[in-house]
Structure 1
Amino acid sequence: MSVFDRGFLFADAVYEVTAVIEGALVDFDAHQRRLERSLGELGIEFDGSAVDLRAIHRELLARNQLDEGLIYLQLTRGCADRSFVRPETATPSLVLFTQSMSLIDHADARRGLRVVTRPDLRWHRRDIKTTQLLYPSLMKSEAVAAGVDDVWMTEGGYVTEASSSNAHILTTDGRLITRPLSNDILHGITRAAVLEYARESGVTVEERPFTPAEALTAKEAFNTSATAFVTPVIELDGQAIGEGQPGEATARLRELYIDQSRARLTR
């Protein structure tokens, strides 16, 4: 990668992370659709028909003998002289790598996450999956330094997201509450799948903002992401959510997501 690559100089780049279980890809087509949307929003011209991303993912799986973990894909606008004005023409740069890790038997799912609230000071196009991750990285690092696991960022008194996950609560009467899609949050692939499976199983889903105070009255809470699936949140700002331990409803949603993902793997 050149030092003049705009991904390096301006974070002028987008990325996707696709989970791998049983040597196959989870929600691959949905990740590719979001990638195309992100590229379109930034005006990065990439000829997907000329590069078979599915074949590249499969080759990475084979070369690295990856059974469980993730494939990271990053696509930048490409190289150009350093200027705040984006170049009229540039050849996009593409890089992918694999990471082996346990996703199904995840320690966070067994013990639950303790989170703290922090103000959401990111730019207001969080729906584009860019590599501008400095602020959430700083906030998560601050949380870990404070002895907890993650943050729930807030704006206007309402929860937006965790550092790299979508946030959800389950009410005492069984409703699933999660912030609606907008420019304020990433349109999570795992979020969408979990909501679909929850509705199919009879869970009432309400897409609306919720406050930290409402979360503290919830029965359970959880995050969703491609690398952690459905992960319980058991504490917020030092106060227990529900019984202060991973709950049965969250565990069922996690099992449901894993089972449905296994049935829809891309090989």
Structure 2
Amino acid sequence: MSRIAYVNGHYVRHAEAGVHIEDRGYQFADGVYEVCGVRGGKLMDETLHLERLQRSLHELRMEMPMPLPALKHILRETLRRNHVLNGMVYCQVTRGVAPRDHPFPENARPSLVVTAKRLNETRIAVAVTHGVEVVTMPDQRWARRDIKSIALLPNILAKQSAREAGAYEAWLVDEEGFVTEGSSTNA
């Protein structure tokens, strides 16, 4: 059985699913996601996950891609089409397709991708029964500015703030007061 994904209004085979090359999620990591566990065909903590999704979108000044009842229907339909009773559903919303430029685009429509998959029940049972090993690491998610990754969300937020302040650019400053780079330029 092939997996099915929901992509911007269409249910498509997972292997054929894709978004436009200028989707801001692909270009800048300009989007948010939620993962919700599924047990017995029911979404676990659905309300909490959807509230966090809405809060995350609000913090990035993005609109919901559709009304909440419609999104709930798509989550359930994606589970149904994939025959997932125990597993997870993944929902990603991006700012949408626009020419590559750091400030928020005008008139872009949010993109929505939803996938679902089964999880290995035996592996989960063993982990719950016996526990798992973990290590602690420093949180470096936004501190690794030396890596030119596509995760430019901090940069686009800085660029948008600069535009709203009437400036062309924002220079980013480290904890010692040194300029590290511009939001979309070299400093």
**CA–CA separation in structure 2 for the residues paired with 1:23 and 1:117:** 33
In the alignment, structure 1 residue 107 sits paired with structure 2 residue 136: no
Query: What is the aligned counterpart of 1:119 among 138, 156, 170?
Result: 138
1:48 is matched with which residue? 66
Q: Please give the root-mean-square deviation of Cα atoms over the aligned residues, in Å.
A: 2.3
Local SS of the residue matching 1:14: strand
Matches within 5 A, 1:86-165: 86-102=104-120, 105-123=124-142
1:8 is matched with which residue? 26
* 1:161-206 Cα deviation digits (max 9, x unpaired): xxxxxxxxxxxxxxxxxxxxxxxxxxxxxxxxxxxxxxxxxxxxxx
* 1:4-44 Cα deviation digits (max 9, x unpaired): 00000100010011111111111111111111000000011
Matches within 5 A, 1:91-240: 91-102=109-120, 105-123=124-142
Q: State the shift of 1:100 in Å.
A: 0.3
Q: State the shift of 1:122 in Å.
A: 2.0
Q: Does the CA contact (< 8 Å) of 2:89 and 2:114 recur in 1?
A: yes
Tell me: higher relative CO, structure 1 or 2? Use CA pairs within 8 A at least 6 residues apart: 2
Local SS of the residue matching 1:40: helix
1:47 and 1:95, CA in 2 relative to 1: closer, same or farther beyond 3 A? closer
**CA–CA separation in structure 2 for the residues paired with 1:50 and 1:31:** 12
Unaligned runs of 5+ in 1: 125-130, 133-267
**CA–CA separation in structure 2 for the residues paired with 1:51 and 1:81:** 31
**CA–CA separation in structure 1 for the residues paired with 2:93 and 2:81:** 21
Question: Aligned partner of 1:10: which letter?
Answer: F
2:155 is matched with which residue? none
2:172 is matched with which residue? none
Percent identity of the aligned residues? 42
Query: What is the aligned counterpart of 1:37 among 55, 60, 80?
Result: 55
What is the TM-score normalised by the length of structure 1? 0.43
Query: What is the aligned counterpart of 2:42 among 24, 32, 50?
Result: 24
Local SS of the residue matching 1:17: strand
As a proportion of its length, which structure holds more strand? 1
Local SS of the residue matching 2:32: strand
**Alignment size in residue pairs:** 126
Local SS of the residue matching 1:110: helix
What is the TM-score normalised by the length of structure 2? 0.61
Q: State the shift of 1:101 in Å.
A: 0.6
**CA–CA separation in structure 2 for the residues paired with 1:76 and 1:44:** 8
**CA–CA separation in structure 2 for the residues paired with 1:98 and 1:56:** 11
Local SS of the residue matching 1:118: coil
1:77 is matched with which residue? 95
